[in-house]
Amino acid sequence: KAGVTQTPRYLIKTRGQQVTLSCSPISGHRSVSWYQQTPGQGLQFLFEYFSETQRNKGNFPGRFSGRQFSNSRSEMNVSTLELGDSALYLCASRRGTGGFSEQYFGPGTRLTVT
Amino acid sequence: DQQVKQNSPSLSVQEGRISILNCDYTNSMFDYFLWYKKYPAEGPTFLISISSIKDKNEDGRFTVFLNKSAKHLSLHIVPSQPGDSAVYFCAASYGQNFVFGPGTRLSVLP
C-alpha cells in the first residue's frame, strides 16, 4: 500500500508571497491532518479534514487555510508569508471513520521563507 | 499551555543498554497514547500505542508503560541499537484530537 505523499518536498518563497502544499493520503484514509514542525516546538496541529469538511482546527492565524477534495487529497495554503512560517509542514492521514486510528505521516514539505 | 510534555530534549544511551523516554500529560480526557519516531528529512513513523484501559503494551524491543494516576507514560527500548537514534514524539488523543509533545532526541552510541 502506498504511503502518504506530499508535494513539493522543498520550497523557497519570499515574504508576502503565498504558497500551496499538497497531500495525498493512503488509499482508504478519509482523514487528513496538517502539522507545522519547527525546532523545539514539536508538531503544532494546524487542522484536520474529513470527507471534505474541516473537523478540527489548531491555533493558527487565518493566513493558514486548507481544503480537502472528494478523493481525500488535501491542500494547505499559506498567504502573505512571514519569515516565521519557515518550517517543515507535515501531512498525516488516518481512516478516521470511527473509533481510534493512528496517523500515518508523509515526508513533509520543507518551506523556507526569505 | 502544553498538554503533552517531554521534559528531556535529548538522551544519550550506550548500545545494548535500555533507553527510557518519558512523557507527561495534563488532560485527563486523553484516552489513547502513542509514540512516533522521526528520522531527519522523513515524516514521523508510528511506533507503538496504548489505550488508557491498559498499563503496558509490548512490541518486540519496545514497551510503553502508562501510569494514569500520575498522568505519565514512558517508552522503554531494550536493547538499544544505533538505528534507534532519532527524535521520539509522544502523542495523546481523545475524540478527534491529537496532541504531540515537543520530542526527545535519542542518540544510541556504539
Predicted pLDDT at A82: 97
Q: Which one, of B84, B6, B91, lies nearest residue B49 by Cα?
A: B91
Searching chain B, which residue's CA lies closest to the CA of residue A41? B102
Predicted pLDDT at B98: 84
Predicted pLDDT at A72: 95
Searching chain B, which residue's CA lies closest to the CA of residue A90? B43
Q: Is the CB of residue A76 less than 8 Å away from at least one CB of chain B?
A: no
Q: Give residue for cell 484530537.
A: B97
Contact call for residues A25 and A73 (beta carbons, < 8 A): yes
Inter-CA distances, B67 with A68, B5, B22, B73, Å: 38, 15, 11, 6
Predicted pLDDT at A31: 94
pLDDT per residue, tens digit, chain A (114 aa), is 679 999 999 999 999 999 999 999 999 999 999 999 987 678 899 999 999 999 889 989 999 999 999 999 999 999 999 999 999 999 999 987 666 778 899 999 999 999
User: Are B102 and A41 inside 8 Å of each other by CB?
Assistant: yes
Contact call for residues B90 and B21 (beta carbons, < 8 A): yes
pLDDT level of residue B1 (50, 70, 90 thresholds): low
* DSSP calls for A36-99: EEETTTEEEEEEEEETTEEEEE-S--TTEEEEE-TTS-EEEEE-S--GGG-EEEEEEEE--SSS
* pLDDT(B42) > 90: no
Count CB-CB contacts under 10 A for residue A14.
10
- In angstroms, the CA B5 to CA A114 distance is 31
All residues of chain B having their beta carbon less than 8 Å from the beta carbon of residue A6 are: 43
B6 or B94, greater pLDDT: B6
Contact call for residues B73 and B62 (beta carbons, < 8 A): no
Interface test mutation site (partner B, options A5, A49, A105, A110, max chain B beta carbons within 10 A): A105
User: Are A100 and B93 inside 8 Å of each other by CB?
Assistant: yes
Inter-CA distances, B30 with B22, B57, B72, B99, Å: 16, 17, 12, 9
All residues of chain B having their beta carbon less than 8 Å from the beta carbon of residue A56 are: 96-97
In a 13 Å sphere around the CA of B17, the CA atoms on its Cβ side amount to 12
Q: Is the CB of residue A30 less than 8 Å away from at least one CB of chain B?
A: no
Q: Give residue for cell 494516576.
A: B69
Q: Is the link from the previous residue into A8 a cis peptide, with omega within 30 of 0?
A: yes
- In angstroms, the CA A87 to CA A5 distance is 18
The contacts of residue A89 (CB under 8 Å, 6+ apart) are A6, A21, A34, A35, A36, A37, A76, A108, A109, A111
Predicted pLDDT at A98: 63
Size of interface A-B (CB pairs under 8 A): 48
Strands A109-113 and A10-13: parallel
Shortest distance, CA B83 to any CA of chain A (angstroms): 19
Determine the length of chain A.
114
